[in-house]
């Protein structure tokens, strides 16, 4: 028994040591559990929630865009899609074979679906086909029992029912770019697959209001992302419907009137700044972008010399030509020290040093005062005036009337144009101003560049007596998400030009359109109470050489399109109580009086007729 009791004692000691060690180990387990389950519990609880909860954004329907009379210009169309959920099919190929008997299904579609099916988890729906017709949808629905795993899903896509009409103004929507995502990181809607935001025009400027507010659906998901149940659902706010100032029927009329020309027309209310018409031709069908363009179509749009994708009304910059003489005249009267009665003799040209500057009328106009100078658009008269007052005064006046800078219209992509002065030339070219440039500048040629919208704004400010009206296309003022109706006659700041000076210019414009000999007399309005006062402009785009002058200046019809003059016309109506201002620019169209003025006349008649009808209807209602 000796060895046994000896062993037993040793065994007891060692067992006690072992037990002690084990107790320490168990203690460490408890300590670790305390650390994980008590001290760090909150952190892990959050992580477990993050695992469990998946949030899905619900895209709000985009606000509609309507014209001033409520005609829809941009709407949301149902986009019916066929989806297949692979795990609900007995076999993907079997279901797709069945489906192919009902709706056409291309081989490329099948390859794409098979690829998606391999890549994604089997409960994730795969798009089979998009933009289904209602007939196809019905056929699929009727055959649903034979199509296990197939579902129909309705998405939304933007549709512009007026197609080409107003396409430039509306702009378009597209998927957000990297920059969009970075600059608008706060709105998680942008990360939704397939979500589109405004990229140009009204769609861009009013994007936030049109977009609405996303809803959110909170779901419990398992480790592979399958939805177990919906926990919560917050509906978003749909986008705000936006009323434009545009009159779609006038827009349509103006577009038809311009026909195939590369041209732009802007008609605006001279008091409110509401733009009734803004046409740029040729146009394009924005829906084609949603459908997807072929390479050839895209090439045609991009390389067309008449640039259908550009909104010429705000982005096209043209020399204003003789329409600029209104500004020269005002600058001369306002501080230029020129009396309206001062007479200038026009022999058909003006000699400055060794250079001869020609008037558009070969024989000359003889002696003219200011009203006569405007009415006849005499170049020599304005050469002389410009020579006396210099380019800086002209520049300052032009800027007061909205030229040489963006008007601030609520559209994207507006170009500022250019009105030169001495300082500008020094800065831009590093050269002093030449006296000859003063003369060219005086008839709106040379460095001068204006957009059709600026010209309309300019004439509107002349017509309203010098109020600095700003054009706009949205009828409601949208500031963030609050929509409030516009004050129809906002208090515009004044140009600070004396009424006498403006009266004088307007008398000249009256002569242009309504007195025999005026440059637009043939394009006058004879309808009662609708007379317009205007100013023609013909902007030369090429240099006429001495040789050509001697052998006879070529007619526009003899020149290639790119070398023809731009035809311009600005006007307001009715002449006795001005309401509307118009500018027409026909790119390489020829002479302002022959091409642009008749277009302006027809459109202004239509504008005023519509206004009369509208007022009558309002009268009846009251």
Partner 1 sequence: MRRPLHPPRPVGGLNRAEMSWRDKIRQINMSLLALITAVACIGFLTLYSAAQGSLEPWALKQMIRFMLGMGLLLTAAMVDIRNWMRYAYVFYGVSVVLLVIVQIHGTIGMGAQRWIDLGFIQLQPSELMKVALIMALSRYFHGQAPEDFRRLTSLFIPLIMVLVPVGLVLKQPDLGTALMLLMSSGAMFFIAGVRIWIFGIALAGGLGAIPVAWQFLHDYQRQRLIIFLNPDQDPLGAGYHITQSKIALGSGGLLGKGFMMGTQSRLNFLPEKQTDFIFTMFAEEWGMLGAVVLLFLYSLLVAWGYSISLRCRSQFSRLLALGIVTTFFLYFFINSAMVMGLVPVVGVPLPLISYGGTSMLSLLFGFGLVMCAHVHRDIPISRSGAVED
> Could you list the active site residues?
322
Token pair for 440: 């060219």
Minimum CB distance to partner 1, residue 27 (Å):
10
Asked if 24 is part of the footprint of partner 1 (rule: CB under 8 A), the reply reads no
Cis upstream peptide for 173 (omega within 30°) = no
Question: Judged by CB under 8 A, which of 20, 48, 233, 527 binds partner 1?
Answer: 48
Asked if 37 is part of the footprint of partner 1 (rule: CB under 8 A), the reply reads yes
Q: For residues 340 and 371, give the distance between their C-alpha atoms in angstroms, rounded to a whole number.
A: 7
Question: Judged by CB under 8 A, which of 154, 182, 224, 546 binds partner 1?
Answer: 224
Q: For residues 572 and 505, give the distance between their C-alpha atoms in angstroms, rounded to a whole number.
A: 13
Judged by CB under 8 A, which stretch of 16-24, 363-371, 495-503, 581-589 contacts partner 1? 16-24
Q: Are 358 and 549 in contact (CB under 8 A)?
A: yes
Residues 355-384 that bind partner 1 (CB under 8 A): none
Residues 530-589 that bind partner 1 (CB under 8 A): none
Asked if 121 is part of the footprint of partner 1 (rule: CB under 8 A), the reply reads no
Asked if 55 is part of the footprint of partner 1 (rule: CB under 8 A), the reply reads no
Question: Judged by CB under 8 A, which of 20, 33, 144, 232 binds partner 1?
Answer: 33
Token pair for 486: 């516009």
Judged by CB under 8 A, which stretch of 35-43, 111-119, 401-409, 496-504 contacts partner 1? 35-43
Nearer to partner 1, 122 or 184 (CB): 122
Nearer to partner 1, 32 or 549 (CB): 32
Minimum CB distance to partner 1, residue 31 (Å):
10
Closest CA to 322 of 513, 535, 590, 587: 535
Question: Judged by CB under 8 A, which of 87, 141, 220, 235 binds partner 1?
Answer: 220
Q: For tokens 């500031």, what's the residue?
A: 479
Question: Judged by CB under 8 A, which of 91, 93, 138, 222 binds partner 1?
Answer: 222
Judged by CB under 8 A, which stretch of 2-10, 191-199, 523-531, 539-547 contacts partner 1? 2-10
Nearer to partner 1, 15 or 355 (CB): 15
Distances (CA, A) of 496 to 442, 500, 506: 22, 12, 16
Longest pairwise C-alpha distance within the chain: 151
Nearer to partner 1, 16 or 615 (CB): 16
Asked if 231 is part of the footprint of partner 1 (rule: CB under 8 A), the reply reads no
Q: For residues 467 and 490, give the distance between their C-alpha atoms in angstroms, rounded to a whole number.
A: 10
Residues in the chain: 622
CA atoms 427, 428, 434, 436: torsion sign: negative
Q: Is 621 exposed, middle or buried (0-12, 13-18, 19+ CB in 10 A)?
A: exposed
Q: Which residues pair with 474 in a beta bridge?
A: 244
Q: For residues 89 and 110, give the distance between their C-alpha atoms in angstroms, rounded to a whole number.
A: 15
Minimum CB distance to partner 1, residue 252 (Å):
58
Minimum CB distance to partner 1, residue 20 (Å):
11
Q: For tokens 């509906």, what's the residue?
A: 235
Nearer to partner 1, 33 or 111 (CB): 33
Q: Are 273 and 470 in contact (CB under 8 A)?
A: yes
Asked if 101 is part of the footprint of partner 1 (rule: CB under 8 A), the reply reads no
Question: Judged by CB under 8 A, which of 1, 154, 427, 618 binds partner 1?
Answer: 1
Angle, helices 325-333/452-463, rounded to nearest 10 degrees: 40
Nearer to partner 1, 51 or 302 (CB): 51
Nearer to partner 1, 228 or 482 (CB): 228
Apex 284 CA angle, 283 and 287, nearest 5? 145
CA atoms 574, 575, 580, 585: torsion sign: positive
Positions touching partner 1 (CB under 8 A) are 1, 3-4, 6-8, 10-12, 14-15, 17-19, 22-23, 25-26, 28-30, 32-34, 36-38, 40-41, 43-45, 47-49, 51-52, 220-224, 228
């Amino acid at each position: 028994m000796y060895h046994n009791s000896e062993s037993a004692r040793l065994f007891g000691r060692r067992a006690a040591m072992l037990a002690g060690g084990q107790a320490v180990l168990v203690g460490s387990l408890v300590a670790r559990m305390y650390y994980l389950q008590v001290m760090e519990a909150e952190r892990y609880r959050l992580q477990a929630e993050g695992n469990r909860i998946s949030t899905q954004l619900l895209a709000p329907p985009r606000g509609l865009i309507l014209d001033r009379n409520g005609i829809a210009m941009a709407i949301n169309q149902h986009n019916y899609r066929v989806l297949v959920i692979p795990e609900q099919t007995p076999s993907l190929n079997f279901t797709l074979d069945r489906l192919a008997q009902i709706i056409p299904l291309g081989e490329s579609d099948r390859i794409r679906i098979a690829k998606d099916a391999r890549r994604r988890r089997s409960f994730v729906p795969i798009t089979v086909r998009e933009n289904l017709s209602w007939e196809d949808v019905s056929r699929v629905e009727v055959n649903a029992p034979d199509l296990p795993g197939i579902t129909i899903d309705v998405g939304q896509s933007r549709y512009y029912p007026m197609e080409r009409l107003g396409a430039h103004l509306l702009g378009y929507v597209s998927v957000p770019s990297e920059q969009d995502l970075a600059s608008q990181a706060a709105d998680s809607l942008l990360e939704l697959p397939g979500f589109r935001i405004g990229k140009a025009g009204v769609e861009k400027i009013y994007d936030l209001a049109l977009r609405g507010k996303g809803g959110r659906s909170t779901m419990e998901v398992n480790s592979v992302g399958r939805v177990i149940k919906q926990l919560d659902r917050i509906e978003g706010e749909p986008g705000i419907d936006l009323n434009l100032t545009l009159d779609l029927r006038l827009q349509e009329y103006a577009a038809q009137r311009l026909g195939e020309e590369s041209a732009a027309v802007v008609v605006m209310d001279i008091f409110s700044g509401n733009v009734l018409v803004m046409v740029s031709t040729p146009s394009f069908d924005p829906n084609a972008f949603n459908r997807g363009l072929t390479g050839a179509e895209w090439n045609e749009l991009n390389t067309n010399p008449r640039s259908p994708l550009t909104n010429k009304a705000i982005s096209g910059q043209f020399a204003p030509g003789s329409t600029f003489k209104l500004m020269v005249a005002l600058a001369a009267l306002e501080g230029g020290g020129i009396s309206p009665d001062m007479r200038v003799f026009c022999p058909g040209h003006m000699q400055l040093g060794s250079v001869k500057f020609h008037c558009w009328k070969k024989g000359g106009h003889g002696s003219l005062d200011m009203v006569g100078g405007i009415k006849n658009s005499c170049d020599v008269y304005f050469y002389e005036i410009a020579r006396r007052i210099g380019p800086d005064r002209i520049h300052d006046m032009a800027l007061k009337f909205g030229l040489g800078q963006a008007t601030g219209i609520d559209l994207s992509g507006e170009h500022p144009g250019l009105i030169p002065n001495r300082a500008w030339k020094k800065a831009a070219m590093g050269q002093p101003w030449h006296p000859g440039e003063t003369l060219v500048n005086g008839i709106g040629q040379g460095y001068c560049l204006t957009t059709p919208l600026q010209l309309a704004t300019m004439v509107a400010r002349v017509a309203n007596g010098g109020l600095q009206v700003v054009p706009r296309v949205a009828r409601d003022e949208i500031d963030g998400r609050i929509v409030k109706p516009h004050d129809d006659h906002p208090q515009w700041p004044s140009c600070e030009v004396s009424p006498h000076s403006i009266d004088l210019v307007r008398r000249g414009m009256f002569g242009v359109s309504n007195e025999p000999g005026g440059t637009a007399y043939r394009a006058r309005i004879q309808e009662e109470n609708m007379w317009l006062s205007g100013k023609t402009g013909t902007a030369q785009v090429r240099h006429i050489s001495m040789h050509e002058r001697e052998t006879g200046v070529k007619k526009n019809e003899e020149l290639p399109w790119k070398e023809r003059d731009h035809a311009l016309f600005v006007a307001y109506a009715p002449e006795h109580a001005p309401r509307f201002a118009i500018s027409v620019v026909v790119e390489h169209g020829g002479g302002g009086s022959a091409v642009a003025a008749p277009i302006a006349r027809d459109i202004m008649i239509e504008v005023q007729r519509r206004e009369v009808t509208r007022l009558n209807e309002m009268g009846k209602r009251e």
